[in-house]
């Protein structure tokens, strides 16, 4: 039986616990939170035998095989290091670490110890992203992507997170170097990182505060970012983060030398952009019909999965697939679902983005 | 509350456990009920009412009250109960604490954090106050279970507390029940003088919602599930006065009070009046047995599908909201000397007037 510990008993921990409890021969043996009452409530609801207020104590007492770290990002590096040094595999919620250098150290340490570590990039494993990956592997694009576009936006009208963040001057998100961006953009960046080559892609980022946030006095939060990325093979990508586009899109477009793909994560729709020419007016009639058929096919796929009780909402579905694949890899059945390279590239691109947008903010503040 | 009702209140309603010069803390003071509690305390003649409100809450309600009663009697503290420092500042010198701040979140951890951890922080500050005479914890009537009460039977303060709130899939109620538990724990360990108040469905101008106990339009059409059930309504000003009295009356430490008004309407009566006075819309009557069958199937599907649909509709929640019970306010009347001073007819009139304005603004 695989013994699992969870450190951090907030909202994400609940979602992890649901998924872990589905996995055969796996048991959550302990939960831990710096606030012991939070640990206690989670232990009670998930019938976990032991709860702790200190991670060190949990590791020493129950010696878990795997630890899920679902704490705020500032603690990811020290906790991850502590867990690896104690001999536990680690599932780290996103963002993996605050800085890329920390990500590098953790990945190295995991390798040295012969342990596995993964980042919580569950948006990479929604139904539609899994289907996209299969098509790319089958050679559908006709080679390495020429260009990619990733839009990962956030709707500030969402009362949950926005209310918590905007209502609390001391919210941990505000203390991250990338503030709001750092807590969200890894999902959109990792989609691009998966297809990049080399270790140091070129990143050009521009960030600013939306008029909406300025109006409510939140000048310090950058909630609009546009990024251009280029790797050593001249594959390029655009990344967009916005809090003002409504509805907030979560899309990924892959443009290949032969064909292209559009992934609409909001509706779990995958569209093939087929490189086929039609004569004269036919190109205005046949492809639209083909797209209509593709949309209908997506409906059939989604509904079919729903009937087979294998759909779930995208975040849950992604988490379910990622956690299941992670535990399969621990059992030696499959490789890790996310490569170390992808985790590290995501962290490095994020570092570059935050450094650039923060630099852009400084002169503005000085001038103000 | 109109000026007519002002002369209904007064310190002569005593005997009370404190005089008008003592400091009283109200958390959630800018909220729907909290602002009415502040107003009622000022009407009673208290001169030092400390109001704790979140830094982001719009000051509207309290500003209005300050304009009416004078700023000198109000002490506004902005802060979050997750901060122990805020709790310390807020509780400093308080003789009575009315704890109304509530954590309304979608997740269990979120509700626990904003109901229980906040309450624990406040309690830690409260027990250090030598002059504290009472801690009034405002909970909810939803924490009860009616599993052992037959249809139509009375749900009162002696009824069981729900012992499996996770199955009800109601994070807010879970948070409230756990909040009650921690108050009881502190009472036992630290000899904390406390009273728990569990209001029914609080309604009135300021809250533009038909309670789910009547029905809801979750599926695009209004499903009327309450039918002949009595709805445990309490008009916001009546409820506020009951809460105020729970902090003032002598000899009631350790008691729990459910607050519902007199002359409770049935769901059918409420909906009919609503349609006549506010807006006409289509509603489909859904008998309890039909809704219970639906909830049973939904709950089973949720389990079978591994949570593909969350168990938002389930048997326990169905029973507590729509099985149909009667409610008693006898204890509050007897021990608090409380009377719902604004009659149900008038309460409903005010609510409908407010809702009509809301609907007009939507046009």
In the stretch 314-333 of chain A, residues with CB closer than 8 A to chain B read 316
Residues 6+ apart with CB under 8 A from B285: B224, B227
Q: CB-based contact (8 Å) between A167 and chain B? A: yes
Residue A161's pLDDT is what? 61
In chain A, ranges of CATH 3.40.50.720 domains: 2-119
Pairing of strands A89-92, A224-230: unpaired
Identify the CATH number of the domain in which residue B85 sits: 3.40.50.720
CB nearest to A309's CB, from B110, B117, B304 = B304
pLDDT band for A177, please (50, 70, 90 cuts): confident
pTM of the prediction? Answer: 0.91
* B contacts of A169 (beta carbons < 8 Å): 55
Q: How confident is the model at residue A169 (pLDDT cuts 50, 70, 90)?
A: confident
The tens digit of pLDDT for each residue in A5-38 reads 999 999 999 999 999 999 999 999 999 999 999 9
Percent of chain B's residues with pLDDT above 90: 85
| Partner residue opposite B109 with nearest CB, options A10, A160, A309 | A10
Average pLDDT taken over every residue of chain A: 93
Give A213's pLDDT tier (boundaries 50, 70, 90): confident
CA distance B187 to B192: 4
| A17-26, B72-81, B195-204, range with the lowest pLDDT | B72-81
Mean pLDDT of A237-259: 96
Predicted confidence at residue A219, as pLDDT, reads 81
For residue B287, being part of any structural domain is answered with no
How many structural domains compose chain B? 1
- Is the pLDDT at B138 greater than 80? The verdict is yes
Chain A contact set for B108 (CB, 8 A) = 14, 41, 45
pLDDT value, residue A164: 63
Q: Which domain holds residue B93?
A: 14-206+232-261+327-343
Search chain A and give the residue with CA nearest B169. A45
Q: Among B102, B1, B87, which Cα is nearest to B44's?
A: B1
Domain-located, residue B314: no
Whether pLDDT at B7 is above 50: no
Of B56, B105, B306, which has the smallest distance from its Cβ to A166's Cβ?
B56
**Overall average pLDDT of the B210-226 stretch:** 94
Is B320 among the domain residues? no
**CB contact B308 to A (< 8 Å):** yes
Q: Nearest chain A Cα to B164, which residue?
A: A45
Q: What is the ipTM of this complex?
A: 0.89
Residues 234-293 on B with a CB inside 8 Å of A are: none
State the DSSP code for B144. Answer: B
Whole-number pLDDT of residue B4: 38
How does pLDDT run across A52-92, given as a tens digit for each residue?
A: 999 999 999 999 999 999 999 999 999 999 999 999 999 99
Determine whether the interchain pair A311/B308 forms a contact, defined as Cβ–Cβ distance below 8 Å. Answer: yes
Q: Which tokens is A62 given?
A: 């129950």
- Average pLDDT of span B24-44: 95
Better-scored residue on pLDDT, B46 or A161? B46
Higher pLDDT, B61 or A168: B61
Task: Give Cα A157 to chain centroid, integer Å.
Answer: 21
CA distance A317 to chain B (A): 9
B307–A35 CB contact, under 8 Å:
no
Strands A250-255 and A147-152, bridge-based pairing: antiparallel
Q: The domain at A124-321+349-356 falls in which architecture?
A: 2-Layer Sandwich (3.30)
Tell me if A41 and B54 make a contact (CB, 8 A cut-off).
no
Taking residues A224-235, report their average pLDDT: 97
Q: What is the pLDDT of residue A159?
A: 52
A358, pLDDT greater than 50: yes
Interface check for B112 against chain A (CB to CB < 8 A): the answer is yes
Q: For domain A2-119, give its CATH number from 3.40.50.700, 3.30.70.260, 3.40.50.2300, 3.40.50.720.
A: 3.40.50.720
* Residue B18 is assigned to a structural domain of this protein: yes
CB contact under 8 A, B107 and A41: no
Region B283-300: mean pLDDT is 97
Is B140 inside any structural domain? yes
* Residue B6: per-residue pLDDT: 43
pLDDT in tens, B245-286: 999 999 999 999 999 999 999 999 999 999 999 999 999 999
Does residue B178 belong to any structural domain of this protein? yes
Grouping H, G, I as helix, E, B as strand and the rest as coil, residue B137 is: strand
List phi, psi (to 5°) of A277. -100, 140
Q: What is the DSSP letter of A279?
A: -
Two tokens, residue A344: 């590290």
Cβ–Cβ contact B124 with A under 8 A: no
Rounded distance between C-alpha atoms, residue A336 and residue A325, angstroms: 7
């Amino acid at each position: 039986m695989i013994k699992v510990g969870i450190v951090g008993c907030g909202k994400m921990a609940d979602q992890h616990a649901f998924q872990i409890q589905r996995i055969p021969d796996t048991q959550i043996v302990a939960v831990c939170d710096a606030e012991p009452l939070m640990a206690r409530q989670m232990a009670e609801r998930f019938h976990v035998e032991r709860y702790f207020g200190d991670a060190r104590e949990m590791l020493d007492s129950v010696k878990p095989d795997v630890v899920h770290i679902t704490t705020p990002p500032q603690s990811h590096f020290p906790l991850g290091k502590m867990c690896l040094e104690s001999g536990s595999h680690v599932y780290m919620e996103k963002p993996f670490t605050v800085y890329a250098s920390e990500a590098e150290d953790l990945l190295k340490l995991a390798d040295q110890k012969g342990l596995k570590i993964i980042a919580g990039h569950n948006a990479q494993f929604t139904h539609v992203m899994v289907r996209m990956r299969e098509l790319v592997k089958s050679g559908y694009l006709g080679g390495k992507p020429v260009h990619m576009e990733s839009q990962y936006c956030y709707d500030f009208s969402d009362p949950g997170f926005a209310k918590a963040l905007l209502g609390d001057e001391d919210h941990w998100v505000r203390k991250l170097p990338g503030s709001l961006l750092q807590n969200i953009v890894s999902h959109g960046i990792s989609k691009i990182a998966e297809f990049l080559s080399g270790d140091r892609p070129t990143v050009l980022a521009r960030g600013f505060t939306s008029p909406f946030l300025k109006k409510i006095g939140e000048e310090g939060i950058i909630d609009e970012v546009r990024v251009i990325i280029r790797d050593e093979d001249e594959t390029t990508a655009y990344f967009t983060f916005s809090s003002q586009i409504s509805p907030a899109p979560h899309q990924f477009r892959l443009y290949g030398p032969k064909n292209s793909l559009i992934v609409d994560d909001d509706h779990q729709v995958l569209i093939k952009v087929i490189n086929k020419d039609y004569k004269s007016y036919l190109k205005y009639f046949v492809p639209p019909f083909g797209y209509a058929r593709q949309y209908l096919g997506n409906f059939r796929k989604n509904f079919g999965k729903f009937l087979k009780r294998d759909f779930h909402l995208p975040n849950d579905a992604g988490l379910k697939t990622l956690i299941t694949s992670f535990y399969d890899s621990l059992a030696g059945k499959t490789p890790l679902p996310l490569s170390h390279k992808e985790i590290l590239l995501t962290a490095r691109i994020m570092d570059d983005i935050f450094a650039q947008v923060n630099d852009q903010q400084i002169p503005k503040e000085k001038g103000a | 509350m109109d000026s007519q009702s002002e002369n209904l209140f007064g310190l002569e309603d005593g005997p009370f456990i404190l005089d008008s010069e003592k400091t009283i803390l109200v958390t959630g003071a800018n909220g729907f009920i909290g602002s009415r509690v502040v107003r009622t305390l000022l009407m009673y003649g208290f001169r030092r009412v400390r109001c704790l409100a979140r830094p982001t809450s719009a000051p509207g309600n309290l500003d209005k009250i300050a304009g009416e009663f004078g700023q000198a009697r109000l002490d506004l503290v902005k802060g979050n109960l997750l901060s122990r420092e805020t709790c310390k500042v807020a509780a400093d010198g308080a003789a009575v604490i009315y704890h109304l701040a509530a954590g309304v979140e979608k997740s269990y951890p979120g509700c626990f954090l904003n109901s229980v951890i906040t309450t624990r922080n406040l309690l830690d500050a409260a027990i250090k106050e030598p002059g504290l005479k009472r801690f009034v914890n405002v909970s909810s009537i939803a924490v009860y279970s009616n599993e052992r009460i037959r249809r139509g039977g009375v749900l009162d303060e002696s009824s069981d507390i729900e012992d499996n709130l996770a199955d009800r899939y109601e994070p807010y109620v879970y948070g409230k029940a756990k909040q009650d538990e921690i108050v009881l724990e502190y009472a036992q360990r630290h000899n904390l003088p406390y009273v728990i108040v569990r209001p029914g469905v609080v309604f009135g101008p300021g809250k533009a919602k038909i309670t789910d106990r009547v029905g809801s339009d979750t599926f695009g059409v209004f499903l009327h599930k309450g039918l002949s059930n009595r709805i445990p309504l309490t008009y916001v000003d009546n409820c506020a006065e009951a809460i105020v009295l729970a902090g003032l009356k002598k000899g009631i430490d350790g008691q729990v009070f459910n607050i519902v008004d007199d002359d409770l309407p049935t769901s059918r009566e409420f909906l009919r009046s609503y349609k006549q006075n506010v807006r006409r819309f289509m509603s489909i009557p859904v008998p309890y047995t039909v809704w219970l069958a639906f909830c049973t199937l939904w709950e089973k599907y949720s389990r079978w599908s591994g949570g593909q649909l969350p168990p938002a509709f389930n048997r326990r929640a169905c029973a507590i909201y729509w099985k149909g019970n009667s409610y008693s306010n006898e204890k509050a009347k007897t021990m608090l000397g409380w009377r719902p001073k604004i009659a149900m007819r008038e309460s409903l009139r005010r609510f409908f007037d407010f809702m009509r304005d809301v609907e007009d603004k939507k046009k």
